[in-house]
Structure formats: C-alpha cells, structure tokens
C-alpha cells in the first residue's frame, strides 16, 4: 500500500510541469532587493556625450598618485604638463617652435585643499615663470574660493585650458585684450563668479600693486557674460592697452556631432575701443578621433591701427604674462580671419595633432593698403 | 575574541602506515584537547586566515598590501580588517585598488559579514570611480530551505539546482547588483572615448575586469574563513 502511494507520487511528479530555474529559491525567501530588478544589457557607449561634458575646462590628469594611507595632510598628487609644438608657414611669417612648455604639479592636501603650480619653460628649457600658482578650496559643491596667481577666467575661449582649445592659438582680438595671469582671489558659485586681481604683472608672483581689476561673470545653460572693470586704467600691467571695461558674452550649443560657440568682445578704453566676434564650429568626422574645426573672427577698432594681428608662433612667455607675444605682428583698423582645420585625437585630448589653413585679411594694415595672408599651421600637443 | 585554530596539514597524514601510528595517537590527543576547548569556549567561533588569504594573492608586502595582476591588469589588495559582530560573527572588510598604467586609481571596498558558524550573511561592494561613489547596497543571505513536514500531502519538489547554495546566490546577487550599478553609471558617463589609439589597439581596461578581480578576492576570502 505504502509502495503504491510513493509510486503515485512519483507519477504525479513526472506528469507535473517541470520546475522553472530559480522557482524554488524565489518561493523560499525571495531574492535580495538590489538584485531583484532585471539586469539590462550594458548600453552601448553614448554616441555623443551630454553638453557639459562636451565643453570641458580641464584636461584629464593622467599621472596621479593617491596616498595609500589616508591622511589629512596629503591625499593626492598629480603631475601635470602641456607641450605644444607649432609650425606656421605663411606669407607674413615662417615660424616654428615650442608654443607652450608647462610642467607642474597638482596636490590635494590639507583637508581637500587643491593646490596647483605650473611653471613655464622656453624651448631651451630655461625657466620663464609661473603660469599658475593657486590654492582652491571648495566649501561645498556650489561654492569655491581660489587664491593665488592664475589666468582670470574671462571669456569662454580664454578660460578654457590651453590643452583643450580647438585652434593653435587664441582669436587675434582675444589675444590682444585678454588679461595677464595675475595675483588675485576668485569666488565661484553655481552660475556666477566674482574676483579681484592685482594690476601688477610678473613672471613669478605679481605684487599687490595699484587698485587692480574686478572680474564678474554669469553663466547659464551655455550662455555667459563676463565683465572686467580696470581701476588702474593705463597704469595696469595686467590689462593691456589701458582698457577700462572689458565685456565678453556668448553661447555654446551642441547637437549630434556638431559643436558651436559664438562670442562677442568689447574692450573700452579712453583711447582705444575695440570690438569683435568669434564664431567657432567643430564637427566630429570620426567620433572622438578626427574633428573638423572652423573659426571665423572679426575685429575692429575706432582708432586707426587699433587692432593688433600677430603672425607665427606666439612666444612661450605669453602664458606667464600678457598673451599677445609675437615676433611678427601688424596693426590694422579691422580684421577678418577664416580658419579651417582638422584635429586628430590620438589619446583623448591628451595627445593631439592638428593642421589648418587660415586666411586673414587686414584693412588699413600699418596705415597702408589692405593686407591679405594665407597661413598654414600644424601643431602637436601633449597634455597630461 | 577569534579562535586561533587552524586544521591545515592534518590531511597529509595517511592512516595505516607505521610512521603514522604515533601521529594518530597525537591526533587523538589533540582532538580531545580541541573538543574540551570547544566546550569551555563559545559555541562556535569563526576564524579568518589572513596569511593564507595573502598567500593566494602573492603574499603580503611590508606596506600591508598584496600586489598581483589579473589579465594583464595590476591590482593591490590591502590586508583585511576584522572585527567581531555582536552575535559572535565576524565582519571582514578589505580594499582592492586597480592602478591603470595611466589615469586615476580605482578603489573598491569589499565588506562581508559572517555568522559564528562561518556562513556568509551579508555582502557589499563600494567603489569610488571618477569621483563618483557607487554601492551595491547590503545584499543579505536568503533563509535556508524549510523542509515540508513528513506527513504533508504536498508533492515533494526535487531540488532541480543543487549547485545553487544560499552562499552562491548571495555572491551572484552581489555581482548582479554591482553590474546594475555600473550600467547605471555608464548611462550617464561618456563610457570610453573612441580616440585613434582606442580604435587601433582597443582599451586596455574595462570595468568588467574589475568585477572579475573583486570576485577572485571574494572567493579567496570565502576559502579562508573557517
């Protein structure tokens, strides 16, 4: 009797639906909550990253060392460098040389204080001065204070790290009016910044000299407005050409493989008032590898010969003081510049090779007839 | 108060051989001593063999880390920290660092709780990646299967997957949660840029490699818990 019962049970089991994998365990105690949700397939890498990531301001550090033992005095060390070799060939200048040679260190120390020190060298390896010597402390995600010598973050093009710029050099008018790397303090919040800098300019550490200049800026969803008020007028060494008010406003737009930025500049002084516009566009020909870049730049001045146009490779010392440092330059009443080039990204933004052709036309160049020039440039950049 | 008892090496004694007769007597004496010790002490005490764990990973260095490579990537595991839990169990935490040839260090933390009998009860993985902190959350062990009463009329469902132990399920759930969190991250982050070098040579490191390294670490921890 008992045997037949067991046999029936065995037959019932054979007739029953086969147990689904995992059924037993789900009925016993349930799966852990975090593992309950079905695992989606890893999504393919986004073809085009979101806009804030498409406009980075600093290059990714490659050589970092995090302290094995956590301590409040030193948490992380990063070695930084930027080497840019350029070759320019044009009707006005045949020039080649090291545009930029920076070597520096960044520390996270003393309870998350960020300390950056970047020294500039010339092509023969001689020390030129400090481009940056800054301490930055973030009170929280939305408020940070920087103190030291650094590039005032005026205009989106100038405040972008040189290792992330699309072109071999700054737009001509921006190189003319951009403030020198100076000693100051900058308070940055979410969408705003306010800073005060010394009017002195020095290869190493500038003095607190004169009445200085004030920097204020607003930013909202790709739009920005920057303003500098120079209290020193003509006595300032940090603000060129005795400009008193400097404005910069523009937008950044990204869509698909396209990126576009426009910027308007106005520099108002007692003697020279200059204005200009820069339109920059880039398109990934091959995503993250080859990028087509183009720029249109226009600059004009109310003063005869009020626009400066540099040709060739800017001297490496331009990063520790005034940006406009060219062996060959010309003055003009107005200027148009068209640049079209290709950038090859070998290793993200850290190793790049670029080549481009520029057509530049100057009206009233050196108080004479117009000057047209074609310039071919090639540059190789290593940043870490 | 962890019992410092290791039974390694006893398996090498072969009963029956003349040279082992003396050893067998010693063994009996030792077992008696052990048995009396177990009656005197707590009911059960879990033990983690830190040295054996280190040996599995090339051995501990002077700076209390072990350096080893898996699939041509270098990792570093720190000596685990142990502490007793209130119920008589043990909490083990260790840090596994991946140091890419270029780029930032990725630190992961394995946190495991064991019952007094040495069963893995909870597991958690924390990760710090590109300034973002990721956690799998606390994954808990499922309760053991309850045997139906002998006189029950319910049909006996045979265990179709005897390899699915609660411990194995916990580990699987832990890495399932880990994968889910990493997938979430790759949705927001630009996951690996396809620059010229990446297109030519491929990326040298993927986050799946890290999962494998963590799993090897976890397996060695489990192996050395008694």
Q: Catalogue the long-range contacts made by B134-137 (C-beta closer than 8 Å, 24 or more residues apart).
A: B134/B181, B134/B182, B134/B185, B135/B181, B136/A34, B136/B174, B136/B177, B136/B178, B136/B181, B137/A33, B137/A34, B137/B177
Per-residue pLDDT, A367: 60
Q: Residue A9: is its pLDDT beyond 60? A: no
State the pLDDT at residue B144. Answer: 66
A27 in a structural domain: no
Of B65, B155, B182, the CB nearest to A13: B155
- Count of the separate structural domains present in chain A: 1
Would the CB atoms of B145 and A62 count as touching at under 8 Å? no
CB contact under 8 A, A19 and B157: yes
The answer as to whether A72 is a domain residue is yes
Residue A13 pLDDT: 44
Q: How far apart are the first and last CA of chain B?
A: 14
pLDDT, position B9:
32
Q: What is the per-residue pLDDT for A22?
A: 37
Are the beta carbons of B161 and A24 separated by less than 8 Å? yes
**A chain contacts of residue B105, beta-carbon cutoff 8 Å:** 64-66
Which residues are registered as beta bridge partners of A227?
A216, A247
Confidence class of residue B142 from pLDDT cuts 50, 70 and 90? confident
In this predicted structure, the answer to whether residue B19 has a pLDDT above a threshold of 60 is no
Q: Do B190 and A62 touch (CB under 8 A)?
A: no
**Taking residues A330-341, what's their average pLDDT?**
94
Model pLDDT for residues A179-194, shown as the tens digit of each residue: 999 999 999 999 999 9
CB nearest A16 (choices: B105, B155, B180): B155
Does the structure show a pLDDT above 70 at B26? Answer: no
Pairing state between β B132-135 and B139-140: unpaired
Residue A353 is assigned to a structural domain of this protein: yes
* A139 φ, ψ (degrees, to nearest 5): -65, -40
| pLDDT score for B123 | 93
Instruction: Look at A66-75, A105-114, A234-243, A322-331 and tell me which has the smallest mean pLDDT.
Output: A66-75
Q: Do A46 and B170 touch (CB under 8 A)?
A: no
Q: Is the pLDDT of residue B124 over 60?
A: yes
State residue B129's pLDDT score: 74
Minimum Cα–Cα distance from A67: chain B residue? B105
User: Are the Cβ atoms of A348 and B193 closer than 8 angstroms?
Assistant: yes
| Range in A209-213, A300-304, B11-15 the model is least confident about | B11-15
For the segment A245-272, the average pLDDT, to the nearest whole number, is 94
pLDDT digits (tens, 9 = 90+) for A226-248: 999 999 988 889 999 989 999 99
Q: How much is the pLDDT for A80?
A: 93
pLDDT at A334: 93
Integer CA distances (angstroms), B192 to A56, A127, A287, A309, in order: 16, 37, 12, 40
Quick one: pLDDT band at residue A263, thresholds 50, 70, 90? very high
Q: Hey, which residues does A150 pair with through a beta bridge?
A: A182
User: Is B157 in contact with A24 (Cβ distance < 8 A)?
Assistant: yes
A9 interaction partners in chain B (CB closer than 8 Å)? 155-156
Chain B residues inside the 8 Å CB shell of A351: 197
Ranking A1-15, A35-49, A305-319 by mean pLDDT, the lowest is A1-15
Beta bridge partners of A90: A375
The answer to whether residue A112 scores a pLDDT higher than 60 is yes
- Per-residue pLDDT, averaged over B10-23, amounts to 39
Helix or strand run (H / E) with residue B100: none
Task: Report the gap between the CA of A195 and the closest CA in chain B (Å).
Answer: 27
What mean pLDDT, rounded, does chain B reach? 74
What CATH number has the domain bearing residue A85? Answer: 2.40.160.10
Q: Which two tokens stand for residue A147?
A: 């103190």
A37 Cα to chain B: minimum distance (Å): 9
pLDDT for res A377: 96
Quote the DSSP letter at residue A60. P
Are residues A348 and B195, on separate chains, in Cβ contact within 8 Å?
A: yes
Please count the other Cβ atoms lying within 10 Å of the Cβ belonging to residue B60.
Answer: 18
Please give the pLDDT value at position B143. 73
Q: Which of A197-211, A345-359, B195-209 comes out lowest in average pLDDT?
A: B195-209
**Which of these ranges, A35-44, A82-91, A181-190, has the smallest mean pLDDT?**
A35-44
Residue ranges of the domains in chain B? 50-143+166-189+205-223
Identify the closest residue of chain A to B180 by CA–CA distance. A39
- pLDDT tens sequence across B107-119: 899 999 999 988 8
Over residues A366-376, the pLDDT tens digits come to 666 788 999 99
Point out the least confidently predicted range of A176-185, A273-282, B29-38, B206-215.
Answer: B29-38
Domain that holds residue A152: 60-383
Asked whether residue A155 is assigned to any structural domain, the reply reads yes
DSSP string, A173-215: HHHHHPPPPEEEEEEEESSEEEEEE-S---SS-----SS-EEE
The answer to whether A348 contacts B164, with C-beta atoms less than 8 Å apart, is: no
Q: Note whether A347 contacts B195, CB cutoff 8 Å.
A: yes
Q: How far is A77 from chain B (nearest CA, A)?
A: 11
Best of B196, B200, B211 to substitute, by most chain A Cβ atoms within 10 angstroms, is B196
């Amino acid at each position: 009797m008992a045997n037949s019962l067991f046999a029936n049970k065995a037959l019932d089991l054979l007739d029953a639906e086969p147990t689904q994998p995992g059924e037993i365990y789900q009925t016993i105690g349930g799966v852990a909550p975090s593992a309950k949700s079905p695992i989606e397939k890893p999504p393919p890498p986004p073809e085009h990253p979101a806009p804030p990531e498409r406009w980075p301001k600093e290059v990714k550090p490659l050589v970092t060392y995090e302290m094995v033992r956590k301590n409040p005095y030193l948490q992380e060390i990063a070695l930084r460098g930027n080497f840019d070799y350029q070759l320019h060939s044009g009707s006005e200048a045949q020039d080649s040389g090291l545009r930029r040679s920076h070597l520096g260190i960044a520390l996270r120390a003393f309870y998350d204080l960020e300390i950056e020190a970047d020294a500039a060298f010339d092509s023969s390896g001689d020390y030129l001065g400090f481009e940056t010597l800054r301490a930055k402390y973030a009170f929280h995600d939305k408020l940070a204070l920087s103190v030291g010598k650094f590039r005032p973050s005026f205009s989106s093009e100038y405040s972008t790290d040189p290792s992330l710029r699309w072109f071999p050099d700054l737009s001509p008018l921006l190189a003319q009016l951009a403030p020198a790397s100076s000693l100051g303090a900058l308070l940055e919040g979410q969408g705003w910044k306010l800073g005060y800098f010394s009017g002195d300019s020095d290869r190493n550490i500038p003095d607190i000299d004169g009445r200085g200049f004030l920097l204020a800026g607003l930013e909202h969803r790709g739009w920005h407005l920057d303003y500098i008020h120079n209290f020193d007028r003509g006595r300032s060494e940090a603000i060129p050409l005795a400009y008193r008010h400097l404005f910069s406003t523009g937008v950044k737009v990204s869509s698909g493989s396209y990126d576009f930025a426009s910027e308007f500049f106005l520099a108002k002084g007692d003697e020279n008032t200059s204005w200009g516009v820069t339109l920059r566009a880039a398109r990934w020909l091959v995503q993250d590898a080859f990028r087509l870049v183009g720029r249109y730049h226009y600059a004009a001045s109310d003063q005869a010969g009020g626009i400066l146009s540099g040709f060739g490779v800017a001297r490496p010392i331009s990063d520790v003081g005034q940006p406009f440092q060219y062996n060959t330059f010309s003055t003009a009443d107005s200027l148009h510049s068209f640049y079209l080039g290709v950038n090859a990204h070998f290793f993200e933004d850290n190793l790049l090779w670029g080549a481009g052709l520029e057509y530049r036309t100057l009206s009233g160049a050196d108080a004479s007839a117009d000057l047209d020039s074609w310039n071919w440039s090639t540059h190789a950049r290593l940043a870490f | 108060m962890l019992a410092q008892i290791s039974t390694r090496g006893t398996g090498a004694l072969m009963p029956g051989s003349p040279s082992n007769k003396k050893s067998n007597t010693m063994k009996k004496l030792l077992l008696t001593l052990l048995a009396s010790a177990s009656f005197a002490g707590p009911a059960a005490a879990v033990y983690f063999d830190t040295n054996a764990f280190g040996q599995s990973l090339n051995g501990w260095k002077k700076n209390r880390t072990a350096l080893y490579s898996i699939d041509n990537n270098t990792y570093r595991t720190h000596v685990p920290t142990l502490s007793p839990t209130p119920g008589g169990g043990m909490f083990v935490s260790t840090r596994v660092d991946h140091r890419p040839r270029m780029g930032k260090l990725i630190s992961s933390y394995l946190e495991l709780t064991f019952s007094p009998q040495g069963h893995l009860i909870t597991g958690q993985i924390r990760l710090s990646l590109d300034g973002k902190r990721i956690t799998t959350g606390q994954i808990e062990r499922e309760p053991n299967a309850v045997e139906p009463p002998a006189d029950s009329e319910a049909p006996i469902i045979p265990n179709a997957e005897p390899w699915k132990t609660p411990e194995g399920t916990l580990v699987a759930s832990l890495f399932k949660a880990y994968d889910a969190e990493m997938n979430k991250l790759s949705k927001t982050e630009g996951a690996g840029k396809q620059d010229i070098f990446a297109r030519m040579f491929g990326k040298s490191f993927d986050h799946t490699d890290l999962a494998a390294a963590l799993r090897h670490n976890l397996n060695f921890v489990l192996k050395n818990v008694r």
